[in-house]
């Protein structure tokens, strides 16, 4: 089924563990984005990518790592999870120039104990 | 710091009531403006957007928004809400000199009572 998918949908982990959240899109959109959603803060951009092998920091990149070896995948890694990274994470994609409509995935709810 | 403000965090309305959700931003230059909606259990989807032209923009499901440049505002309106409009609404701004970054407001949770 075409669209943008995220996995896992729910994840519980412990402080200090490495966690990778997956994002896959079937539209061949050039741009992909990672946001976190926290109560009262709306969505805040963590990282984005304009194309394969091109990534850039957003508003809140600390503690996160991204890669984009293929156009359709944009994994987000928490190298050493902290409780402050408990959040809902959304992946999105869009056509160039990247400022047009963004299409969002269903989200991953991450809890760090 | 530049930001996007949504003044109403929670709104409760009865069906058929009129809706207006406020959105103000602090960017001084040209901007692209969006309203996204997140229905319970679903992902965010675009309601409407403004890039240029007529400042009154019509979106899906009877929603509209008006861009008032002098007030740095992009308020969302609907003349008569339905129970199915219960959702969280997010205003988002892309300053034209900010590359590809969208800045979102904190969101407004709307509950429509049947």
Interface of A with B in 84-113 (CB under 8 A): 90, 92, 97-102, 104-107
Give CA torsion, residues B36, B107, A57, A69, to 10 deg. Answer: -40
Which residue do the tokens 């412990």 mark?
A14
Q: Does B103 touch chain A (CB under 8 A)?
A: yes
For B6-31, the pLDDT digits (tens) are 988 999 999 999 999 999 999 878 88
| Residue B85 three-state SS | helix
pLDDT of B1 above 70: no
- Give me the sign of the Cα torsion angle B91, A60, A21, A4: positive
Query: At residue B100, does pLDDT exceed 70?
Result: no
CA distance B8 to B4: 13
> Given CA atoms B81, B86, B88, B94 in this order, what sign does their dihedral have?
negative
Least trusted range by pLDDT, from A53-62, A90-99, A101-110, B96-105? B96-105
In terms of CA atoms, which chain B residue is nearest residue A38? Answer: B106
Between chains, do B101 and A59 touch, taking CB under 8 Å as contact? yes
**d(Cα B75, Cα B6) in Å, to the nearest integer?**
9
According to DSSP H, which parts of chain B are helical? none
Taking a contact as any Cβ pair under 8 Å apart, which residues of chain B between 33 and 92 contact chain A? 34, 36, 42-46, 49, 90, 92
Inter-chain contact B106–A105, Cβ cutoff 8 Å? no
Q: For residue A58, what is the nearest residue in chain B, using CA coordinates?
A: B101
Percentage of chain A exceeding pLDDT 90: 77
State pLDDT tens for residues B63-96. 999 999 999 999 999 999 999 999 999 999 987 6
CB of B27 within 8 Å of a chain A CB? The answer is no
Q: Do β-strands A19-25 and A4-7 pair in parallel, antiparallel, or remain unpaired? A: antiparallel
């Amino acid at each position: 089924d075409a669209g943008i998918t995220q996995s896992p949908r729910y994840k519980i982990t412990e402080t200090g563990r490495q966690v990778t959240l997956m994002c896959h899109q079937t539209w061949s959109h050039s741009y992909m984005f990672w946001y976190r959603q926290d109560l009262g803060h709306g969505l805040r951009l963590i990282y984005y990518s304009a194309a394969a092998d091109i990534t850039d920091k957003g508003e809140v990149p600390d503690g996160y790592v991204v890669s984009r070896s293929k156009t359709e995948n944009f994994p987000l890694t928490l190298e050493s999870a902290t409780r402050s990274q408990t959040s809902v994470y959304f992946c999105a994609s869009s056509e160039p120039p990247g400022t047009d409509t963004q299409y969002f995935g269903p989200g991953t709810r991450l809890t760090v104990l | 710091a530049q930001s996007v403000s949504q003044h109403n965090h929670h709104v409760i309305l009865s069906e058929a009531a009129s809706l207006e959700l406020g959105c103000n931003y602090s960017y001084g230059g040209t901007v692209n403006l969006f309203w996204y909606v997140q229905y319970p259990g679903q992902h965010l989807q675009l309601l409407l957007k403004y890039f240029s032209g007529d400042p009154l923009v019509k979106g899906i499901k009877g929603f509209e928004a008006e861009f008032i440049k002098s007030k740095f505002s992009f308020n969302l309106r609907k003349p008569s809400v339905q129970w199915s409009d219960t959702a969280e609404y997010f205003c988002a701004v892309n300053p034209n000199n900010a590359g590809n970054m969208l800045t979102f407001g904190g969101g407004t949770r709307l509950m429509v009572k049947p």
